[in-house]
Chains A and B, each alone.
Chain A
Amino acid sequence: SQKIEQNSEALNIQEGKTATLTCNYTNYSPAYLQWYRQDPGRGPVFLLLIRENEKEKRKERLKVTFDTTLKQSLFHITASQPADSATYLCALRGFKTIFGAGTRLFVKA
């Protein structure tokens, strides 16, 4: 069956450093992969998507890579800030959408 995995442990980093989150998937050939941010008690907010024929996408301090051979996406937040502390979800999008369980990021000042 289709499976998507993210770092289950929380990621703690110091302000100003680059946070790197991982998303791995199996048994799926998505049209594209999406990343969302979710704050406690709120709905996810769309950040970026990357198509299967793209290697890298950037938006301000965010960068996403997509390796369809490894079946892996990396999500980077450069120059991280305490306000970046949240849970980050990856999602595979075909007709259906499959989400990972998310990785909690804590950025310390």
Chain B
Amino acid sequence: EAQVTQNPRYLITVTGKKLTVTCSQNMNHEYMSWYRQDPGLGLRQIYYSMNVEVTDKGDVPEGYKVSRKEKRNFPLILESPSPNQTSLYFCASSAPSRTSGGYEQYFGPGTRLTVT
């Protein structure tokens, strides 16, 4: 089954304790991205990666790092989490679609992170 997986799905941690949220896709997509979703603010892009050689900042990259060593994986790293990073995080991957004429994004199930 074509899918994007994220782990963990739920995480409660304390301020300053480094954590990694993994993301993996099995669709051979070049483009991958991380978003956070907060009430009233919608989805905001943290980082995106056009392929294994190109990664760039989205609109809210502060406090986050990413790594794209291989096509299928795109982990999100919080070196020193703070309470304002409490949010719902989504990973997505995409590739051009002949059917729709552009990039369709496939989202993972989300990771709910609480930083106390």
Interface residues of A (CB under 8 A from B): 31-32, 34, 36, 41-46, 48-49, 51, 89, 91, 93, 95-102
A62–chain B nearest beta-carbon distance, Å: 12
Residue picked from B42, B58, B59, most chain A C-beta under 10 Å? B42
Given A43-B107, A93-B103, A99-B35, 4 other A-B residues pairs in contact with their CB atoms under 8 A: A43-B4, A43-B110, A46-B100, A95-B48
Is A97 a contact of B45 with CB atoms below 8 Å? yes
B108 at the interface (CB under 8 A from A): yes
CB-CB nearest in chain B for A2: B59
Main secondary structure of the interface of A (DSSP, over half): strand
B90 at the interface (CB under 8 A from A): yes
Main secondary structure of the interface of B (DSSP, over half): strand
Assign chain B's interface to a size class. Answer: 20 to 34
Q: In chain B between 100 and 116, which residues have their CB closer than 8 angstroms to a CB of chain A?
A: 100-110
Residue picked from B40, B101, B108, most chain A C-beta under 10 Å? B101
Is A48 a contact of B100 with CB atoms below 8 Å? yes
- State whether A46 and B105 are in contact (beta carbons under 8 Å apart), knowing that A96-B58, A99-B42, A100-B42 are contacts in the complex: yes
- State whether A89 and B43 are in contact (beta carbons under 8 Å apart), knowing that A41-B110, A43-B90 are contacts in the complex: yes
CB-CB nearest in chain A for B56: A95
Contact with A along B59-100 (1 / 0, CB 8 A): 100000000000000000000000000000010100000001
